[in-house]
Amino acid sequence: MGIDLPVIWALIIAFGLMMYVVMDGFDLGIGILFPFIHDRIDRDTMMNTVAPVWDGNETWLVLGGAALMGAFPLAYSVLLSALYLPLFFMLVGLILRGVAFEFRFKADEAHRPIWDKAFISGSYLATFCQGVAIGAFINGFSLSGTTYTGGGLDWLTPFSVFTGIGLITAYALLGSTWLIMKTEGALQSRFKSMTRPITLAVLIAIAIVSLWTPAEHRDIAARWFSFPNIIVFSPVPVLVVITTFAIQHVIKKETHAAPFFFALLLLFLGYTGLAISLWPNIIPPSISIREAAAPPQSMGFILVSALFVIPFILGYTAMSYYVFRGKVKAGESYH
């Protein structure tokens, strides 16, 4: 067969996960920024900016999980069981905030603060756990052949805790720049002033991860710092620095969409850096996408459905973002 199924599926899943990270990233970011905004009307406005789209964003997470099982069953089984607790608490967080999201609008004044707390804690918990999972993924898993031999708490390391916190700052940046785009007046000014320190924090987090990772993993260091890779890959860190300064620069003036798109670019660069470090491994440190791939009969079977359905999902997603474009004004009701 002329088509390389494992690579195609790796790209589809990587694309799905990136869609998830950028899209659920900004709506989780809203939950992360919630504690800093106290006014009820402001909180309603924040939630209304994502109300039409947030559950569609989580679509990508389910799709990622199912496609991983279909295309790379070995990776699905090893990664999910090795990351059992962080993924479990991520799901707890996502359920809490999802339900809080819907019921908050249907609750009366007395019950609303409870749902607010559930929304905040769910957002922090889900984000932190995703970050921890990424950190543990970079660290790799103890394997004997294709079997996971590590313990139930192997994922918990100083590095993974740091990536957990790092992801909270990254989602906070997506959230605050999203809100700059979607709000106006005094509320928008507040997010502008918040965005400055958050951007700085994200830059520091990226820098620390970029140094910590090669320091602990010799093969990753070799990939980045050997010649000619060091030149080929150098645009990634350079662009990270430029993008950060671009955000700091544009929020000094009248701006709406620009900071959000720079923040997306920043996340995309981080994601690219991760891909450069780990490719072609799907279970670091040693199992590649080819070794973990399902038989071609399985990959081909779902490729047909995926190629039929994914364009529809993309089209629908684009349409709902287009329909709900523009500013959300305070007091616009949810229903």
Partner 1 sequence: MFGLTALELARIQFGFTISFHIIFPAITIGLASYLTVLEGLWLWKKDVVYLELYRFWSQIFAVTFAMGVVSGLVMAYQFGTNWSHYSAFAGSITGPLLTNEVLTAFFLEAGFLGVMLFGWKKVGPGLHFFSTMMVATGTLISATWILASNSWMQTPQGFEIIDGRVVPVDWLKVIFNPSFPYRLVHMTVAAYLATALIVGASGAWHLLKKRDTPAVRTMLSMAMWMVLIVAPVQIAVGDAHGLMTREHQPAKIAAIEGHWQNQPGASVPLILFGWPDMTAETTRYALEVPHLGSLVLTHSWNGQIAGLKDFAPEDRPDSTIVFWTFRVMVGLGFLMVLLGFWSLWVRWHKVLFESRNFLRFALIMGPAGLIAILAGWMTTEIGRQPWVVYGVMRTSDAVSNHSALELSVTLILFIVLYTAVFGTGIRYLLKLVAKGPGPLDGHFPEPSPETGRPARPLSAVPDRLDTPIILGSERR
Rule CB under 8 A: which residues touch partner 1?
48, 51-52, 55, 58-59, 61-63, 65-71, 73-74, 76-81, 83-85, 87-88, 91-92, 94-96, 98-99, 102-103, 106-108, 110-111, 146, 148, 152, 294-295, 297-298, 301-302, 305-306, 308-310, 312-313, 316-317, 320, 323-324, 326, 332-335
Q: Which is nearer to partner 1, 126 or 250 (CB)?
A: 126
| 90 half-sphere exposure, CB direction, 13 A CA radius | 20
Nearest-approach distance from CB 14 to partner 1, in angstroms: 16
Q: Which is nearer to partner 1, 279 or 301 (CB)?
A: 301
In angstroms, what CA-CA distances link 268 with 6, 50, 62, 273? 22, 21, 21, 9
Cβ at position 81, least distance to partner 1 in Å:
4
**83 or 203: CB nearest partner 1:** 83
CA distance 40 to 146: 52
Q: How far is the CB of 56 from partner 1 (least distance, A)?
A: 8
Shortest separation between residue 105's beta carbon and partner 1, angstroms:
8
Q: How far is the CB of 289 from partner 1 (least distance, A)?
A: 15
Rounded to a whole number of angstroms, the minimum distance from the CB of residue 324 to partner 1 is 6
Residue closer to partner 1 (CB basis): 10 or 172: 10
Rounded distance, CA 253 to CA 110, Å?
40
Cβ proximity to partner 1, 81 vs 229, nearer residue: 81
Q: Which is nearer to partner 1, 209 or 302 (CB)?
A: 302
Between 185 and 311, CB nearer to partner 1: 311
Whether 65 contacts 16, CB under 8 Å: no
Q: Which residues contact 142 (CB under 8 A, 6 or more apart)?
A: 148, 149, 150, 154
What are the C-alpha distances in Å from 263 to residues 54, 56, 129, 247? 18, 21, 21, 8
Quote the least distance from Cβ 52 to partner 1, whole Å: 4
End-to-end CA distance of the chain: 52
- Evaluated on CA atoms 126, 129, 135, 140, the torsion sign reads negative
CB 263 within 8 A of CB 2: no
Strand boundaries in 79-163, DSSP class E: 143-144, 147-148
